Amino acid sequence: MGKNADGVIVIPKQLKNITDLYRSCQFEKADMLLEKLDKLPNQILSIKAQLAFFKWDFDRSVELILGYYDHLDEWYSANAQNDTILMLTFSLLKCSGDVKENAIKKLAEIYDSHSEKEKYIKEIPRIIEVANGTSADEFAYNKYSAPANPKTLDEIIEIYKDVHKKECVKIKGRILGNQQAVIGILGLVSYMGTPEDYITLYEKVSKSNKLLMDMAMVAARIYRFLGKYNEARQAIINHVRYQWHFVEWTEVMPVSALVGFDCFDLYTEELFAEIYNTPKEVSGESKITSEKLKFKGNFDELFEQKEFAGFELNQVKISALTIISGKIIVGDPLVWLDENTKPFCQKVPKGEFDVIAQIALKDGAEPIITAVMVRFSETPAVVYRNAIFGDEALYEIENADDYNGFNVDGGLVAIVDEKVNKEFVKFRNQFEKKSKADFYNGCLAEIFEKSATDNPHYQRECGDFIDFDIPNTDHHIPVFASGAGNGYYPVYFGYDKKNNVCSMIVEFIETY
């Protein structure tokens, strides 16, 4: 245990692992590990207080909060303070009389003992007032009230267009069909439009993990303002599932998603139970290791197959792959790759690696690429997991009906390093601008045909794979045909027994 240069407690990796377990609802394992932890007593009390609070055990949550309330300056951000104030205030309204009486005495002692009063100390008189019967609504910081003279949605859209002229020029079709624009317009509607228009737009994007956190909070307040209490609670739940993210490592429950003092009347035991049992935002490592992402097989063994469904299976080196950033993009090089294409969040070794295709052959049939593998080391994989981008909510991962992957609309796939992709896109765009020909017919077709001439046994006459070198660089990009045509295909990363990425698979056709 230690402190950083600002005197703030540094959270050890062991506690970070425990909090990830709690947020992913692995309570039994997390409880066991937490009980063994003999460091950071105040942080442990905070975690236990959050759990008790959402279990509707308010006597317990008051007791735990009072155990660390005088030490809230140990946290880096104000989140821990704000969340603790909200939990304590609501808990005092719900706890037993004896617990409340003793808590108020203790809070008064804490208040009197501080000559210099931090925010969480200054809030003590308000907490006591609410506990003694003053409406919590009076202390709401962002209470919603509808504007006296609201603008129409059309008027607000015009205001948005005027402020965001450059962005709006790029939008194809209706502006309300663009998610980013809708989010921007929501911000304007929240204070100058009607509550009904806000709710209509909010429901268009309520399950987007890109939705700004405060949009869901405003939605809950507006639903409440309109008397739609069930919808307000659902907005809170959607926020927990899709938008909430922790700021402090000790945040195991989304207290900040509960909006504020003005929404205390939304809190029910049923709402808290659903939030408690909903998988929440975790660190990238915990997302990657989610059981939902695990492939129920072994691609290393599948790549050693020699036959499937009457086809002869062959493993052929088709290219090299240059990795300079450690981040990989897989996509259609003709349609989907641009400067902003996101890489998968899994990090891979840097260097140059062989790319191996599994190619199915059969008399009377054209060769078919069933899958492509990149080996980053000779160490065998003990598990394969579906690739993710990292911004997915854990709830989305755990409840997904399908795999993560990429789209193919031009019949081709490229595996490319994130930095190399920017060079590739720049070259492709400049080529098309200068030659006034599309990139495939003007550049790639000839390279594919030469590849087919050099290695005809495993390709169609037009060619199925190339090792593309960006001119004036030594960067290799494998470009190959998608074995099942256009569609949506999965990507998997193989992990060795030390949990290091050792391989990657692009799968087109299942051979198992």
- Whether residue 284 is predicted with pLDDT greater than 60 in this model: the reply is yes
Q: How far is CA 70 from the centre of its chain?
A: 34
CA-to-CA distance for 68 and 71, rounded, in angstroms?
Answer: 5
pTM of the shown model: 0.69
Q: How many CB atoms lie within 10 A of CB 104?
A: 16
Kindly state the tokens that stand for 453: 């001439």
Say how many C-beta atoms besides its own lie within 10 A of residue 497's C-beta. Answer: 11
Nearest-angstrom CA–CA distance, 246 and 21: 13
Q: What is the DSSP code string of 431-474?
A: HHHHH-S-HIIIIIHHHHHHHHHHSGGGS-TT-SEEEEE-TTS-
> What's the rounded mean pLDDT across residues 500-505?
95
The torsion of the CA quartet 136, 138, 143, 145, rounded to 10 degrees, works out to 130
Taking each helix axis as running N to C, give the angle between helix 229-238 and helix 269-276, from 0 to 180 degrees, rounded to the nearest 10.
20
CA dihedral 443, 337, 491, 456 (to 10 degrees): -10
Compute the average pLDDT of residues 89-97. 96
C-alpha–C-alpha distance, residues 249 and 10, integer Å: 10
What is d(CA 215, CA 385) in angstroms, rounded to the nearest whole number? 33
Q: What share of the chain is helix, strand, coil (3-state, %, to 5)?
A: 50, 20, 35
Distance, in Å, from the CA atom of 189 to the CA atom of 150, rounded to the nearest integer, reads 9
Q: What is the mean pLDDT of the chain?
A: 90
CB 240 within 8 A of CB 278: yes
Percentage of the chain beyond pLDDT 70 is: 95
Work out the average pLDDT over 350-374.
95
**pLDDT exceeds cutoff 90 at 372:** yes
Pairing mode, if any, of strands 311-323 and 351-362? Answer: antiparallel
444-447: long-range contacts at Cβ-Cβ below 8 A with a sequence spacing of 24 or more?
Answer: 444/412, 444/468, 444/479
Q: Which residue has the tokens 């939030």?
A: 275
The Cα-based distances of 345 to 76, 331, 389, 390, 396 in angstroms read 26, 15, 5, 5, 16
Give the pair of three-digit tokens for residue 109. Answer: 């002692």
Task: Answer whether 156's CB lies under 8 Å from 192's CB.
Answer: yes
| Measured distance CA(357)–CA(368) in Å, rounded | 10
Query: Worst-scoring range by mean pLDDT, 51-55, 69-73, 402-406, 414-418?
Result: 402-406
Q: Is 4 exposed, middle or buried (0-12, 13-18, 19+ CB in 10 A)?
A: exposed
> Under DSSP, is residue 146 helix (H, G, I), strand (E, B) or coil?
coil
- Coil/strand/helix, residue 365: strand
Contact 441, 452 (CB under 8 A): no
Q: Residue 45 — very low, low, confident or very high, per pLDDT cuts 50/70/90?
A: very high
pLDDT (mean) for 388-399: 77
Q: Are 102 and 108 in contact (CB under 8 A)?
A: no
Identify the H or E element spanning 408: strand 405-408
- pLDDT by residue (tens digit) across 409-431? 999 999 999 999 999 999 999 99
Residue 207: pLDDT band (50, 70, 90) is low
User: What span, in angstroms and rounded, lies between the C-alpha atoms of 85 and 124?
Assistant: 8
**Residue 108: pLDDT over 90:** yes
Q: With a cut of 80, say whether residue 292 has pLDDT above it.
A: no
Joined tokens for residue 505: 């698979």
User: What DSSP letter does each residue of 322-372 carry, written as one string?
Assistant: EESSSBEEEE-TTTT--TTPPPPS-B---EEEEEEEEEEEETTEEEEEEEE
What are 115-138's pLDDT values in tens digits? 888 889 999 999 999 999 888 777
Contact 257, 214 (CB under 8 A): no
**What is the SS3 assignment for 265?**
helix
Tokens 């950033």 sit at which residue?
325
Give pLDDT tens digits for 221-272. 999 999 999 999 999 998 898 888 888 889 999 999 998 888 999 999 999 9
**Alpha carbon 394 to its chain's center:** 7
* Neighbouring C-beta atoms of residue 210, cutoff 10 Å: 11
**What does the longest C-alpha to C-alpha distance in the chain come to?**
90
Cα–Cα distance measured from residue 46 to residue 64, given in angstroms and rounded to the nearest whole number: 7
Number of H helices, E strands in the chain: 21, 14
Q: Per-residue confidence at 393, pLDDT binned at 50, 70, 90? A: confident
Confidence of residue 1 (pLDDT cuts 50, 70, 90): very low
Residue 77 phi/psi, 5-degree rounding, is -105, 175
Q: Are 130 and 136 in contact (CB under 8 A)?
A: yes
End-to-end CA distance of the chain: 49
- Residue range 446-489, pLDDT digits in tens: 999 999 999 999 999 999 999 999 998 999 999 999 988 899 99
- The rounded Cα 144 to chain-centroid distance in angstroms is 29
Please say whether the beta carbons of 282 and 390 come within 8 A: no
Residue with tokens 């992402």: 293
Least confident of 109-123, 187-201, 273-287: 273-287
Asked if 263 and 143 touch (Cβ cutoff 8 Å), the reply is no
Confidence band for 209, pLDDT divided at 50, 70 and 90: low
Look up tokens 């989907």; give the residue. 336
Q: Which of 349, 303, 490 is nearest to 413 (CA)?
A: 490
DSSP state of 228: -
